[in-house]
Structure formats: structure tokens, C-alpha cells
Amino acid sequence: MLDRKFLLVYHILNMSQIITIANQKGGVGKSTIALNLGAALARDKHSVFVIDADPQGTLSMWAKVRARQTSPKKDTSITITEKPWSPEEILKLTQPPDYDFIIIDCGPANNKATKATLVVSKLALIPISPSPLDINSARATIELIQEGAKRGATKVKVFLLISKRIVGTNLAKEARQACQMLKLPILKTEISQRIALCESAITGQSVLEYAPNSLAAEEFIALGKEVKRCLKQS
């Protein structure tokens, strides 16, 4: 068990805003959101460090592809871990890292890593795809977050985020209503299913680099701004 005093000092010293992206459910868009939210914050001239906390190594693999590409549009203010970090490595983040934002991408069904990240985070986003089954399975993640938050020194702000919205359907609206039973605030921004997001991932780019004028890029820019507002609110 981590000492609460240590955690308090950690939070005071640590000027980085740490954001966890978690949902025990697989494939809801966690890694896509971690990466492109990071890119949106980097576009606003912030330094961003993205920690791959998923043993599958989705974002570490993306970073390897990125390292090989030489596009002049490559944003250098975003750094991604070369390999997935273990929960122990995440908890060792005791020195204030020199980044404005640290985003942690948790894997599915990875309770230990998710709990560790919540101890050090200021904000947690739970992406939810607009399917009744997915909404219900977010409960396990919420319980984990509550458990992790009890061990942390400061209160983690938790928000649901509609992910993989299917354009032209009412599913996201219905999901919003269904999410009310989870008793957590839902971000206004919704991330839609967009082909540019899949294509950009293959090229080792963020969607903001790959298709800067796309609707997908617009949604992530809006997400970045909303996240900053949420962090500022007391």
C-alpha cells in the first residue's frame, strides 16, 4: 500500500497533468483516444508523454512505425514509451517529469495496471462505445476506479466518453441516456467512427497529422479543449 503522505507530496511536486484512459472492455477505442488526445494537446503547444500501460503494446508498436516515417508534418512534442510499462514502473513516476501532460493507455482486463494509474492520475476517461452491453460492462471499470481513487492522495475526476459513435444513427444519444445509470458525468465531445482514424494508425501518424482538416481531427481538437477545461475546474 502506498503511503498517502508520499502521494500528496508527489501530487504537489508533479506539475504534469496525468490522464488515464481506461475501460476493462476491449476494443472500445482507448488507444486511439490516448494517442489522438495526446496529439490534440501537442498541437496546442503542450509537451505530451504517452505511456503504453497495455502489455499488448498497441501504442509502442505505433511508435515504432512512427520512428521509421520521415514526414515533415511529424509533431515532435509527443513522446510514446518504447515498450509497455508495468504497474510498478508507473508507480515509480516519482520525479516530476518534464511534460505538461502524461496520458496513460490502459489495456483491457488489466486491473493491476489500471489501479496503479489511478493512484497517480488527476483525470480518468472511460471510453464507451454506444452499445448497451458495453455500457453495462463499464461498471467493473468504475468500481476499479473508485478502489484506485481511495488509495490516491487527491480525488480523480472521472468522465465517460462516447467513443466509436456511428454517424447517422441515434445510438450515441440513446447511450447518453443509458449512461445516466452509471452516475458519472459524460463529456460533451463524442468520438465518431471514422476511417481516417484507422488509416492514420497504420501510417504511424495521429489523425491530426494525417488528415488535419478532417472531422475526426476536429473531434479530437474539441476533446483536447474539453479535457483542459475539466482539469481546470475545481
Ligand X SMILES: Nc1ncnc2c1ncn2[C@@H]1O[C@H](COP(=O)(O)OP(=O)(O)OP(=O)(O)O)[C@@H](O)[C@H]1O
Catalog residues that contact ligand X under the rule CB under 6 A. 26-32, 54, 56, 58, 107-108, 164, 191, 193-194, 197-198, 201
**Single residue of 16, 24, 58, 206 touching Mg ion by CB under 5 A:** 58
- Report the 10 Å Cβ neighbour count for 143: 11
DSSP letter string, 103-157: EEEEPTT-HHHHHHHHHH-SEEEEEE-S-HHHHHHHHHHHHHHHHHHHHSSSPPE
Question: 31 or 214, CB closer to Mg ion?
Answer: 31
Cα–Cα distance measured from residue 171 to residue 168, given in angstroms and rounded to the nearest whole number:
9
Question: 157 or 164, CB closer to ligand X?
Answer: 164
Q: Least distance (Å) from ligand X to the CB of residue 202?
A: 9
Report the residue closest to Mg ion, judged by CB: 31
Binding site partner of 37, from ligand X, Mg ion, none, Cβ cut-off 5-8 A by kind: none
Binding site partner of 201, from Mg ion, ligand X, none, Cβ cut-off 5-8 A by kind: ligand X
For the chain, the residue count is 234
The reply to whether 141 sits near Mg ion by the rule CB under 5 A is: no
- List the grid coordinates of 177: 441516456
Q: Which amino acid, residue 79?
A: T
The reply to whether 31 sits near Mg ion by the rule CB under 5 A is: yes
Q: Least distance (Å) from ligand X to the CB of residue 95?
A: 28
Question: 100 or 105, CB closer to Mg ion?
Answer: 105
Binding site partner of 193, from ligand X, Mg ion, none, Cβ cut-off 5-8 A by kind: ligand X
Rounded to 10 deg, the angle between the 215-232 and 30-43 helix axes is: 80
- Report the 10 Å Cβ neighbour count for 64: 14
